Structure 1
Amino acid sequence: MEGKLVGVHKIKVKLADGSEATYYYAWRGKGAPRIYAKPGTKAFTQEFVRLTRDRPTHVASGTIASLVEEFRSTAKYKSLAPNTRKDYERMFGIIKAKFDTFPISAIEARGSRKVFLEWRDTMKDAPRSADMHLGLLARIFAWAKDNETILRNPLERVEHLHEGTRRDSVWTMEQINTVLTKAVPHLRKVACIALWTMQRQADLLTMPTLVFDGKRVSIKQGKTGARVWITAAPDILPILQEAKESRRQRVLVNSLGQNWTSSGFKSSWRKEMKRLGIEGVTFHDLRGTAITYAYAHLDRSHEEKIQLIAEISGHSREDAETIIRRHYLAGQEIIDAISRGTK
C-alpha cells in the first residue's frame, strides 16, 4: 500500500542491538513525522493522509511556482475538461520541481529561452512529452504576458521536437467495413457514430440521449466548449432511436448496458481491434478519416468543403483551415486515391 502513496520516505536504521529496522516518514526532510502503522495496511494509509493533510506548503511569490498557482486559479483553467486538467496537474508538478524558485524577473531576461529549451531537451527521448511540457510552460507565460505580469514570453514560436503526425493515418474502406460489419455491436455503434459525426472519443462516450431531438444531435464538445448541431445520417438514426426508446442516460453503452468509462472503452477497443486484425490505425484516426473522406467526396469548392467540415467538427471559421489541414486532413495523394476509389 505504501508504494502507492506519493512522498512516503523509507529509511533503514541500525538498532542498538545490531539489528536493522525500517522506518517510514510522511515525507522526506527535517521535521517529517514518522508513520507508526504497519506498512501495507489501511491504517498506514489513514495515518499518512492525516499527517500530510495539513502539511504547510509554501510557494514563494514572484516565482514560476507562484505563476503556476495563479494560472490554476483562473476561470479559464477551471473550465478545461477534467482529463485535460489531470494531465496539466501532472506536468505542473514536473515544472515546479525544476523551476520552483525561478524568479519571474528572470523569465524576461536575455538567455532565459535557452534555459527553458535545454530543460525540454533533457526529455528528448520522449519528444512528444517534452513538447507538451514546454507547451504548457509557454501557455503559462502567454497568460502572464497577457495580464502584464511579464512583458516578454521567451517561448513564443518554438519549434517542436516531435514532428510526427497521424493526419495520414487514414482507415481503409476495408478496415471500416470490417468494424461496421464484424465488430461486436456495442463497439460497432461507437465507430459508426464517430464516422458520421466527426466527434472526439470523450464526447461520443458521454453523449446524453437527450441531445437527440428525433432528427438532429446537439453536442457540446468537452475540449473546446463549442456546441455543434448535426443532422443524424440514416446510418446512425437506428442507434439514436433505440437509445431514446430505451430511455437510457447515454446513447452509447457497453456490453452490460452500462455507461462507458474511458479506460474500459480503450481496453475493449484494443482487444476488439486485435481480434479483427486491424493494425496501424487508432480510434482517434476515425475522426481524421471521416474528415478526409468527406473532403474527397464533397462536390464543393475547397473553401466550402473546409467550412462544412468545420461546422460539424466544431472548429471556428478562423481556425478551420489551419487545424483541419494540419491535424486531420490527409495529404493530397491520399485524398486523390480516395476520390478514385482506390484507398
Structure 2
Amino acid sequence: MTLVRVKGFKIFADRHGRMRCYHRSTNQKIDLQKSPLGSAEFFADCAKISAAALALKQIQPKPGTLGGLIAVYFAEEHFLERSKATKREYRMCAAILEPIKDTPVSSIDTPLLAAIHDKLAKKHSWDKANRVRNFLIQVFKFCIPKGLISKNYAEDVIKKPRPKNTPEAYRTWTFEEVQTVLEAASPQLRAALAMIFCTGQDPSDALEFRKDQVDDAIIWKGRNKTNVGAAIPISSILEIELAMAPAHDAETLLASSKGTPWTYDGFASTWQRLRRKLEGGDKVAPGLTPKGLRHTMATWLREAGQDEREISDLLAQGSKVMGLHYSKNAALARKNRKTMQVWEGEYERRAAKAKLSNPQRKPSNPDKEIKSHE
C-alpha cells in the first residue's frame, strides 16, 4: 500500500485496521469512504479543510495584541455573567475596535488610547467613544492580574462631555405621547410598552418577566444589569393592559406575534418601525425610546413628591438590597405598593388634565383606551 502524507493531517490505521484521516489543528475528519485515500476527491477535501483553517487562523486574535486582550476578557466569567444588553454593548465596542485589533500590547498607553478616543468621537459620537473607553477599562482590569498588560491605561483617558445642544438620551414621554403610541401599536408591542411604562423597568428586564415570578400581584425579580432585588406591584392599569394582550403559551408574561418570548432585537426592530411611522406622520416628537418610559415613571414620582429611596426601591436602582437569589421581602413589597399607588394617582391626574386641555380629542381605538384606576 502506497504511503500517503499530507502536511497538517494525521493519517493512520485504527485498532481495527481501518484507515483514518484527521486535520491536526481542527481535528476535522475526512470520510475515506466517500473520498478514498490518495484519490482526487481526498486531496480536494484536504485542500478545502486547510484553506478554511488558515482563514480561521487569520481572523483569530493574536496573543499579545489588543484583540488578544479582548478575547481573554470575553472568556472571563465576569463577562459571561453580564446581562444580554451589556454583552451586546461590549461586542459592539469590540466591533468598533476591530480595525486596530492587531495593535501590540507593548505599544498601548494612555496617549494612544486618548488619540483613539478622539478619533472615535469624530467618526461616531462622543457617547460611543465613551462607551468604548468604558469597555476597555473592563478589558484591562481583568487582564492585569493575568500579567497580560501592566496598567489600566484607559482609566486616565478623560471622558467626552455631553455637547450642550445634545438632546436628553432617554427623554421623558408626555402623557399624550404614551396614549398615541399605545393606540398605534400592535397588541403584542402595546403589551410590552405598557409593561415598561407601568413598571419602570429597563426594556431588557421587562421583556423577560416570567409568569412564575408573579405572586399576589407582585413581580419578584432581580434586575439584569445590577442584580438588585425587585418587588414590582402590578397596577390596575397594567392589569388591564395585560388582559387585552393576546393569549399565549410562553413562560414569559409578554410574547411576540409568534407567541414566543420577545427577543430584545425583535422588540427593538418592531418598536423602531412604529416610531418612524409616528414621527413621519407628526404624531409624536422625535427622541422617544422605550427606556425613556423608565425615566418617565421616575419623573412623575419625583413631581408627585416621592423621595429618591422610594423611587429607587420601585425601579430596582441603587445599592444591592437583596441580589438575584433573594428571599421575598414583604416590607419592600408593601412600600412599593404605596409608591405605585402614588404613580397611579399621578397617571389619573395627567389623564384628567389631558382630557380637559383637549376635550374634542377622541381615541383612535376606543376599545383599547386605557382605563384609569377606580
Q: TM-score normalized by structure 2?
A: 0.60
- Describe the superposition over 1:227-282 as per-residue Cα deviations: whole angstroms up to 9, x where unpaired: 31112212113455788986542212234544333343233333434347122222
- Describe the superposition over 1:64-118 as per-residue Cα deviations: whole angstroms up to 9, x where unpaired: 34322322221111112334324423433543642524235x54xxxx2111111
Q: How big is the alpha-carbon RMSD for the aligned residues of Structure 1 and Structure 2?
A: 3.6
**Residue in structure 2 matched with residue 115 of structure 1 by the alignment:** 112
**Residue in structure 1 matched with residue 155 of structure 2 by the alignment:** 156
| Structure with larger Rg | 2
- Higher mean alpha-carbon deviation, 154-163 vs 76-85, is at 154-163
State the aligned residue count. Answer: 267
Map 1:95-244 onto structure 2 (within 5 A): 95=97, 97-104=99-106, 106-107=107-108, 112-123=109-120, 124-127=122-125, 128-145=127-144, 150=149, 152-161=151-160, 163=162, 164=166, 166=168, 169-180=171-182, 183-239=185-241
- Describe the superposition over 1:151-192 as per-residue Cα deviations: whole angstroms up to 9, x where unpaired: 532222533336146267221122123334564433332222
Q: 1:60 to 1:262 in 2, by over 3 A?
A: closer
Q: 1:257 to 1:129 in 2, by over 3 A?
A: same
Runs of 4+ in 1 over 6 A off after TM superposition: 47-50, 241-246
Partner SS, residue 284 of structure 1: helix
**Residue in structure 2 matched with residue 91 of structure 1 by the alignment:** 93
Q: 1:254 to 1:158 in 2, by over 3 A?
A: same
Q: TM-score normalized by structure 1?
A: 0.64
Whether the aligned pair in 2 keeps the contact of 1:209 and 1:244 (CA below 8 Å) is no
In the TM superposition, what is the alpha-carbon distance from 1:53 to its structure 2 partner?
A: 5.2
Q: 1:96 to 1:187 in 2, by over 3 A?
A: closer
- Describe the superposition over 1:2-60 as per-residue Cα deviations: whole angstroms up to 9, x where unpaired: xxxxxxxxxxxxxxxxxxxxxxxxxxxxxxxxxxxxxxxxxxxxx98984357436755
Map 1:293-308 onto structure 2 (within 5 A): 293-298=300-305, 300=306, 305-308=307-310
Residue identity in the other structure for 2:154 = L
- Describe the superposition over 1:120-154 as per-residue Cα deviations: whole angstroms up to 9, x where unpaired: 22221312222222221122223344677655322
Does residue 279 (structure 1) correspond to residue 280 (structure 2)? The answer is: no
CA distance in 1, matches of 2:49, 2:303: 57
Whether the aligned pair in 1 keeps the contact of 2:227 and 2:320 (CA below 8 Å) is no
Q: 1:49 to 1:228 in 2, by over 3 A?
A: farther
Q: 1:88 to 1:230 in 2, by over 3 A?
A: same
**Residue in structure 2 matched with residue 52 of structure 1 by the alignment:** 52
Q: 1:311 to 1:148 in 2, by over 3 A?
A: farther
Q: 1:149 to 1:200 in 2, by over 3 A?
A: same
Partner SS, residue 122 of structure 1: helix
In the TM superposition, what is the alpha-carbon distance from 1:203 to its structure 2 partner?
A: 1.8
Q: 1:255 to 1:121 in 2, by over 3 A?
A: same
CA distance in 2, matches of 1:48, 1:203: 45
Residue identity in the other structure for 2:157 = V
Unaligned 5+ runs, structure 2: 1-46, 322-349, 358-374
CA distance in 2, matches of 1:48, 1:282: 48
In the TM superposition, what is the alpha-carbon distance from 1:205 to its structure 2 partner?
A: 1.9
Whether the aligned pair in 1 keeps the contact of 2:187 and 2:245 (CA below 8 Å) is no
Whether the aligned pair in 1 keeps the contact of 2:194 and 2:241 (CA below 8 Å) is no
Residue identity in the other structure for 2:234 = A
